[in-house]
Structure 1
Amino acid sequence: MPRHDATDLARRLGEHAEAVCRHYLSNGRRSGNYWQVGDVRNIPGRSMFVRLKASPKGPPGKWTDAATGQHGDLLDVIRESMGLIDFKDVLDEARSFLAMPDATTAPDQTRRTPNPVPTGSTEASRRLFAMSQPISGTLVETYLRGRGITILQGTGSLRFHSRCYYRPDDHGPTETWPAMIAAVTDLDARLTGAHRTWLMPDATSKAPVDTPRRAMGDLLGHAVRFGVPYSVMAAGEGIETTLSLRCAVPDMAMAAALSAAHLAAILFPPTLRRLYIIRDNDPAGDGARDSLIERATDAGIEALVLSPVMGDFNEDLRQFGLDALRAEIADQLIRTDRLRYLKRAA
């Protein structure tokens, strides 16, 4: 690939700098003539600045990370946010975004797609999450609100994909459904996997498929995270159960481990001093609770259990309402946390 072709692609991306940022750096936001985000891998924050309009300082699309001193153009953004290694894949992705043909193919040939990655791998998870969009105004927001989950700030780990592939089995035909995509991350906020919840096109329920929820990537010890944990956090199994409890205590950091087995094995942040275990009211939930209490106690972490009245906290939220859920939780939090979290949530 001649250097001038890559330079031309970077220039063309710069002409659509805000659209590029909204797609590949979706955890950021516009601030004046700049897009601000945590870093080039799309971590939430404000230390990286992408120029959106030409100025005496340079063309649009150039960026600088004030925290690290890194800088580059929008091709670098595509490479890092999607975890691409081969530069040819970066250029292909840029052309795809710009709807341009591959310069190395004849006019009647289709553009070569990026090198395939193993199905279900961490790299596949990273690409799926990068191809999805924030949930605001999407079917995911409609679906969650329909489940009684109305407090959605701080849910950058969730995204929406309008046509997510679903295959019933290894030999069945591939279908496409709208889906909620959740990022599974480690304690350093690195994406290790993804979770998909396929939805009905009207967002009234999950899709009518055999397994409407599936996870992929490296999951053990990791979780879908909401908020940054310090000395106190809560951890549960399902995303909707965890988000339901978060409606009652929105300022408490929480993590959804995606299954009872993974909840029992969740890793503890080094600053954690007290862990609330969000229990599902079933035998698997009881087993996860007991294992996690034992592990937390051995690590010098106080472990307390939050138990629902019904099967899980989403059932409680939908059946009894938010005020009743807050009252239910108040009796299970220690006094310090009750004053810290519930007073501000009221």
Structure 2
Amino acid sequence: MPTRRTVGWSAAVGAAAVLWTGGIAHADGPAEDTTSDSPPPASGDADNQELSAAVSRIKVTQVSGPTGGKQGTLASTDVNWEPPPCWYEPVMTPEQLKKFSETGLALGHVSPHVSWGGQKLWTAHYRDGKDAYNYEDESLITRKGYDNYNLGKDGYFWRGVARDLEDPDSYGCERVMFWQDAGEVPDVPNAPTPKTLAEYAYNKVKVPDTEVELKPEGESTVNLPTWVWLDKGTFKDVKVRATLPNTGLWAETTAKPVALHLDPGTDDAEVFPSSGDCAINDDGSIGTPYTKGNADETPPCGIRYLRATDGAPYQLSASVTWKITWEGSDGSAGDLPDGTFETTQDMNVQEIQSINR
């Protein structure tokens, strides 16, 4: 991870400085290490002028799938996979930047880990054409200034957004907020793509709770099978759409349920099938409903407990695996790691009672 540095501005800006790693650069004197655990909020009255280091403008809406009842987010089956650590987004028009820079304290982030405090820093670079200096990939970079906020031009100032500021990879989007003409995505590392939006939306997919139906209900009996099933329609595909405003970029991420995994909550049990993985049938159901007369048969999806509970119930875990795919605004498409969502429910198991005469 880059170390904390203080970088001087050109002499024309006087003693103002830019402080690296979440600090505040003051326009009226030498830089001070005023970093804090929480990034400072933006100030000024500009519309849509949030300049917090972790605020993304990506909008996620659900296109299809259940919306009521208990829901939760997916956990990736690939423990090494994570959404992108950072990317760039359009954040302000010339008019909005002018209003922000010349109103109030003008305090906000110019990149995920660098904040500028004081109107002089903002006006010097974006109004008066003064160069700005910043560290990117451990190198000191000079960025040319702008003439009067590019007023009269059609486009946006873009800035990096970090998903997790503690992630060392979030330092890959440290370019000082820069200009891009309207209708164009900047040609820079970590520029957003439909895949970026699909990966961002992964943790926004809400899937329904996984409480399964059991027979017998409430209490099982040692050595007798408990049938497990879910009616068709209980689990349906869930689709969300992620859009990055003012770019034309979007992606739709779809989660499709493909399997149910059972964990009886004890080693003193057998599961059916032996893998514990119950496939989802073509009609969307799981397993087969219990019918009278099936008590001694082996269920296609179920459990047989071999020992009774003693006070505390077993915790039956039901985990649904969801296959994740996406398609984007440019015709691109692909797969993301499967996701799982798990719930538990109490299972009381009794001994068969007999009377000796």
Alignment TM-score, normalising by the size of structure 2: 0.26
Task: Select the structure that is richer in strand.
Answer: 2
TM-score (norm 1): 0.26
Q: Indicate the structure whose relative CO is greater, using CA pairs within 8 Å and at least 6 residues apart.
A: 2
Higher helix share: 1
